[in-house]
C-alpha cells in the first residue's frame, strides 16, 4: 500500500525550484561549518557473516597532512555499528578497521583507501570478518545501585551488592575472576563526583578512600574501561544518594 494513502490533509505543492534551492542552501550552510582543508569520514561496521553491527569495532585514520607522520586517531563504533571521524585532512587517506578482543588488545581486520573531500563527507559501509573479536552485546542499565566504591586514579572501582548485580555469566568471558562485575567510576560532570561524595558524607570517611555508596547512574559494558582497560564495566554517576565508611551488613 502506498504510504501516501495515510495522509489525511491536503498536500501542499511547492515548486521544484524552491525545493532544490532550499536543499542547496542547507547543504551549503552545513558545508561552510567544516574547517577548510578537512572533511568527514562516516559509515558503519558490520560482521560479514551475520550482518550484525560490530559494536566493539573501531576505525583509525592518519590526521597528519603527511601520512608518514604518526598522528593516527581512532573512533569506536556505536551500538548500531556507526562511526564518524571529523576534521580529517582532505585527500587520500587509509581507513583501518579493528576490533576489541577478549584480552586488552585490538585486532586489525581490514583497511580501505578513501578520498576525503574538502568540506564534504565520504561514506563507507564496511562488512568485515570478525574471527577473534569480542562479539558480546553492549548493554546500558540506568538505576540506583548500592555497593563498595574505591576512589583513586588507578584504583577507581565500584563493586555492587549482590542484589544490585548487573552482570551475567557471559559477561565474564576472558575476564579475570577478581575483576568480574567491577565498574570504573566517573561523574557526569568533571570534578562533580568528589563534591557530591563530600556533600553526602558530612563526617570524615575512614578506610583509605573506600566508601559504601548508594547512587543513581548508568552502567554500560562489558568492554574495557578505565586504567589499562581493566574494568569490564563503567558507571556514570548522576547523583550520590548516600556515602559512608564501609561496615558490617552493608549489603544486607
pLDDT in tens, 158-199: 999 988 888 887 777 767 777 778 899 988 776 668 778 877
Can you give the CATH number for the domain in which 234 is found?
2.40.50
3-state secondary structure 90-106: CEEEEEEEEEECCCCCE
- pLDDT of 236: 94
Which one, of 213, 216, 219, 132, lies nearest residue 184 by Cα?
219
Whether residues 146 and 124 fall in one domain: no
Specify if 12 maps to a domain: no
Residue 151: give the domain boundaries: 139-244
Beta carbons within 10 angstroms of residue 183's beta carbon: 28
Specify if 89 maps to a domain: yes
**Averaged pLDDT for residues 16-28:** 43
Strands (E) located in the chain? 38-47, 57-62, 72-76, 82-89, 91-100, 106-116, 121-128, 139-150, 157-160, 183-187, 210-221, 233-244
pLDDT in tens, 191-228: 668 778 877 776 666 656 788 999 999 999 888 888 87
Whether residues 124 and 143 fall in one domain: no
Final residue before a domain boundary, out of 128, 154, 176 = 128
Measured distance CA(39)–CA(89) in Å, rounded = 6
Can you give the CATH number for the domain in which 49 is found?
2.60.40.1120
Percentage of the chain surpassing pLDDT 90? 40
Whether residues 118 and 186 fall in one domain: no
Final residue before a domain boundary, out of 94, 128, 162 = 128
Specify if 111 maps to a domain: yes
The structural domain count of the chain equals 2
- pLDDT of 135: 85
* Average pLDDT of the chain, as a whole number: 80
- pLDDT of 46: 96
Q: 93 has which bridge partners? A: 114
**What is the grid cell recorded at 152?**
583513586
Q: How confident is the model at residue 28 (pLDDT cuts 50, 70, 90)?
A: very low
Whether residues 115 and 172 fall in one domain: no
Residue 179: helix, strand or coil by DSSP?
helix
Final residue before a domain boundary, out of 82, 106, 128 = 128
Q: Residue 98 pLDDT > 70, yes or no?
A: yes
**What is the grid cell recorded at 35?**
574547517
Amino acid at each position: 500500500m502506498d504510504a501516501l494513502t495515510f495522509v489525511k490533509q491536503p498536500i501542499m505543492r511547492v515548486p521544484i525550484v524552491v525545493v532544490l534551492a532550499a536543499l542547496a542552501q542547507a547543504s551549503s550552510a552545513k558545508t561552510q561549518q567544516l574547517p577548510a582543508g578537512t572533511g568527514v569520514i562516516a559509515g558503519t561496521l558490520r560482521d560479514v557473516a551475520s550482518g550484525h553491527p560490530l559494536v566493539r569495532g573501531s576505525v583509525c585514520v592518519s590526521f597528519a597532512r603527511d601520512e608518514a607522520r604518526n598522528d593516527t586517531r581512532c573512533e569506536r563504533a556505536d551500538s548500531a555499528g556507526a562511526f564518524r571521524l571529523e576534521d580529517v585532512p582532505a585527500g587520500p587517506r587509509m581507513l583501518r578497521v579493528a576490533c576489541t578482543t577478549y584480552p586488552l588488545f585490538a585486532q586489525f581486520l581490514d583497511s580501505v583507501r578513501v578520498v576525503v573531500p574538502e568540506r564534504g563527507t565520504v561514506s563507507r559501509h564496511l562488512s568485515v570478518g570478525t574471527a577473534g573479536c569480542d562479539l558480546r552485546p553492549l548493554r546500558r542499565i540506568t538505576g540506583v545501585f548500592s555497593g563498595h566504591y574505591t576512589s583513586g586514579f588507578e584504583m577507581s572501582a565500584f563493586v555492587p551488592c549482590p542484589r544490585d548485580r548487573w552482570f551475567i555469566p557471559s559477561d565474564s568471558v576472558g575476564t579475570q575472576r577478581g575483576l568480574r562485575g567491577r565498574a570504573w567510576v566517573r561523574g557526569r560532570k568533571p570534578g562533580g563526583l568528589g563534591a557530591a561524595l563530600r556533600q553526602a558524607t558530612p563526617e570524615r570517611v575512614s578506610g583509605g578512600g573506600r566508601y559504601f555508596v548508594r547512587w543513581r547512574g548508568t552502567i554500560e559494558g562489558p568492554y574495557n574501561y578505565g586504567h589499562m582497560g581493566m574494568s569490564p564495566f563503567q558507571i556514570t554517576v548522576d547523583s550520590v544518594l548516600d556515602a559512608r565508611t564501609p561496615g558490617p551488613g552493608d549489603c544486607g
